[in-house]
Amino acid sequence: MLPLVILATFLKPALAARAFLNEPDTGIDRTVGDIGVGILPDLTDMVSLPDFDFAARNYLPALNYTYYRQAAGGEGSYRNNLEIFGNYRFLPRQMQDVTALNSTLPTTILGYNFSLPFFIAPASRAAYGHPKAEAGLVEAAGREGILYARSQFATLSINEVHALKAPGQVLFQQFYRAPTLEEDQANLDSIAAVGAKAVILTVDTNSYGSRQRGLRYGFDRTENRGYRNVTWEYYHTLRNMTSLPIVLKGIQNVRDAQAAVDNGVAAIYLSNHGGRQLETSPSALEVAHDIYVNAPDIYKQIEVYADGGVRYGSDILKLMAFGVRAVGLARPFMYANIYGVEGVQRAIQLLRNELSRDASNLGLADIKALNTSWIQTTRSSWVGFI
């Protein structure tokens, strides 16, 4: 038997805290050459969504990159959002005919047709990434036929964004409660006037998150700025102020998901705000799993969307296996937007290709047939690379 002192020496590296990985080692730093800070790698060097994070961190001023990258507290929720997907195993099936898989990728969201089951989630201040701001997001979404949900705090005005729409393009609009109902009504009227098809009411932002990384750049003050009182009473008041469907974004437990069904909500959106609001809040995948275990009928009663930590096609498949209809991504598209519309379009195409390849290797003939029989529904203890 090894003496305890020797045993402790061997155990020490294993017990040490894991390094905080911002993105996996994709090898990009060894292929783009010795580029200096502030230099943008060639767009053709981007072969995965994490590559855009590398490019944005290298290219953008620290303040700009930090605005997108910051998260709450010790950033454990941010990290968990990325890593949790590695704790769920697929159950691939072989001997399947997957040749028609790509024809099954289109989906509907609130009855509107889209080419893919993922979308550009609301994220503010796109001008921090590119001078044309949200133009790259809305135009790329239009070219690729996916949903773009504009942030209420976008750089471009709602009218400017909608002026960039392709013919027939559908946009949703994210919404925060205003200080007065009169301002709420004015905002809702503006949303309807430009032709947005749904309101995404963010319900997880009672106050600004404790984003310590951002504090260094003046994105918030240390004192609390006050609270937004978003309640069921407020939801019903808002419901009577617009004819547009209202999606609740920021659902993080089964009780709220069930309450949304009981209150006639159009759809729910599982999200912890990219880990930016409350440290150790659950990831969307964990909430999706919890709904599956405790109230699986919710997936049949209401449309469910989700975002947070999604970087790969396999991540999308795991959320969809539990019953999520469409999956949002924010940071990856904001990083891709440093290249403008071509960068966002390349990110969409890369993710579409990954989604298709991963689904075929899973053995799926029809992505709409995806359910929990294709995934282990008991989390493993293994944690892999993000």
> Can you give the pTM of this predicted structure?
0.91
For 265, residues 6+ apart whose C-beta sits below 8 A from its C-beta are 235, 246, 247, 248, 302
The full DSSP string for 76-92 is HHHHHHHHGGGGS-B--
Q: Which helix (H) or strand (E) holds 31?
A: none
Catalytic amino acids?
Answer: 273
Residue 384 domain flag:
no
Residue 1 domain flag:
no
Residue 138 domain flag:
yes
Q: State the binding site.
A: 67, 151, 173, 176, 202, 211, 249, 271, 273, 276, 307-311
pLDDT on residue 19: 64
For 98, residues 6+ apart whose C-beta sits below 8 A from its C-beta are 359, 360, 363, 364, 365
Residue 118 domain flag:
yes
CB atoms within 10 A of CB 261: 15
Overall number of domains in the chain: 1
pLDDT on residue 183: 96
Residue 45 domain flag:
no
Q: Answer for the pair 296, 323: CB distance below 8 angstroms, yes or no.
A: yes
Residue 243 domain flag:
yes
pLDDT on residue 349: 98
Q: State the binding site for glyoxylate.
A: 67, 176, 211, 273, 276
- Which pair of tokens denotes residue 374? 């294709």
pLDDT on residue 7: 42
The full DSSP string for 155-221 is SS-HHHHHTTPPTT--EEEEE---SSHHHHHHHHHHHHHHT---EEEE-S-SS----HHHHTTTSS-
Closest CA to 166 of 194, 147, 138: 138
User: In angstroms, what CA-CA distances link 111 with 187, 189, 260?
Assistant: 24, 22, 19
pLDDT on residue 12: 45
Q: Which residues pair with 247 in a beta bridge?
A: 200, 267
Looking at residue 290, which CATH number applies to its domain?
3.20.20.70
Closest CA to 368 of 102, 146, 57, 139: 102
Residue 3 domain flag:
no
User: In angstroms, what CA-CA distances link 290 with 41, 258, 260?
Assistant: 41, 12, 16
CB atoms within 10 A of CB 35: 15
Exposed, middle or buried: residue 131 (CB in 10 Å: 0-12, 13-18, 19+)? exposed
Closest CA to 376 of 357, 362, 360: 362
Reading the chain (386 residues) residue by residue, the pLDDT tens digits are 444 444 444 444 444 455 666 778 888 888 887 777 788 999 999 999 999 999 999 999 999 999 999 888 888 899 999 999 999 999 999 999 999 999 999 999 999 999 999 999 999 999 999 999 999 999 999 999 999 999 999 999 999 999 999 999 999 999 999 999 999 999 999 999 999 999 999 999 877 777 777 778 777 755 555 567 799 999 999 999 999 999 999 999 999 999 999 999 999 999 999 888 889 999 999 999 999 999 999 999 999 999 999 999 999 999 999 999 999 999 999 999 999 999 999 999 999 999 999 999 999 999 999 999 999 987 665 444 33
User: In angstroms, what CA-CA distances link 316 with 57, 199, 216?
Assistant: 25, 23, 33
pLDDT on residue 15: 41
Tell me how far the alpha carbon of residue 20 is from its chain's centroid.
20
Q: State the binding site for FMN.
A: 151, 173, 202, 249, 271, 307-311
For 361, residues 6+ apart whose C-beta sits below 8 A from its C-beta are 92
pLDDT on residue 277: 83
Residue 7 domain flag:
no
- Which pair of tokens denotes residue 88? 């769920």
- Which pair of tokens denotes residue 147? 């949903």
Query: Which range of residues forms the domain containing residue 257?
Result: 86-374
Q: Answer for the pair 266, 110: CB distance below 8 angstroms, yes or no.
A: yes
> Tokens 């598209």 sit at which residue?
333
Closest CA to 268 of 239, 307, 230: 307
pLDDT on residue 353: 98
